[in-house]
């Protein structure tokens, strides 16, 4: 009976030890994922700094000043984005893509925690390169490109006449599809 009790305790301790190892591994995995996500959010803010405003030139944009229904979006004249820092590209937008995130952002009463109001709708775009920074590789004026603007840290959007993007987040439109389809 004593050997049976001892064997049961040893088995229980072994199971408990295995369970503790699994829980610790899961905790480490969750912490690693969180650190990875926070790192990339931070890098996104640093790496893709929003373009400054060019006060001398304006453009049309579909913008909203307050969250709400589609009726809050108005066409306004706003300053054009200024270009170009070393890795930035100025793109004349031909097409802006509309996604569920656009509806959610516009309806969210706390939208200003992600992007400062007023906000131009849209993230996905296609268009033609107008100008490039001195450190841009693989693109030149006239190229047809598409891309997605960063989700945070900027009030610029795809539903405006011009966008400035880091060249690492745009690509050439494939020859088998149209620029509209790419957006």
pLDDT of residue 61: 93
Q: Could you tell me which of 46, 59, 47 has the C-alpha nearest to residue 127?
A: 59
pLDDT of residue 117: 79
pLDDT of residue 157: 85
CA distance 164 to 84: 8
- Residue 104 tokens, joined: 């959610």
User: Model-level pTM?
Assistant: 0.69
Gap between the terminal Cα atoms of the chain: 74
CA distance 40 to 112: 20
pLDDT of residue 28: 86
What sign does the CA torsion over 107, 113, 116, 121 have?
negative
pLDDT string in tens for the chain (183-residue length): 667 788 888 888 888 898 898 888 888 888 888 777 666 555 555 455 667 788 889 999 998 888 888 899 999 999 998 888 888 999 999 999 888 888 887 887 777 677 777 888 888 999 999 999 999 999 999 999 999 887 665 667 889 999 998 898 899 999 898 888 888
């Amino acid at each position: 009976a004593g050997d049976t009790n001892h064997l049961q305790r040893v088995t229980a301790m072994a199971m408990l030890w295995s369970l503790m190892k699994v829980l610790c591994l899961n905790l480490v995995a969750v912490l690693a994922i969180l650190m990875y996500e926070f790192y990339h959010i931070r890098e996104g803010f640093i790496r893709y700094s929003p373009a400054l405003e060019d006060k001398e030139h304006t453009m049309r944009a579909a913008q909203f000043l307050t969250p709400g229904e589609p009726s809050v979006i108005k066409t306004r004249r706003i300053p054009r984005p200024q270009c170009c820092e070393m890795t930035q590209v100025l793109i004349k937008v031909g097409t802006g893509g509309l996604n569920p995130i656009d509806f959610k952002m516009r309806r969210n009463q706390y939208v200003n925690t992600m992007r400062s109001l007023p906000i131009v709708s849209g993230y996905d775009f296609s268009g033609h390169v107008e100008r490039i920074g001195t450190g841009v590789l693989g693109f030149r004026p006239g190229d047809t490109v598409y891309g997605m603007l960063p989700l945070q840290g900027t009030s610029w959007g795809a539903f405006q006449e011009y966008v400035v993007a880091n060249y690492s987040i745009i690509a050439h439109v494939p020859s088998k599809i149209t620029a509209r389809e790419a957006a």
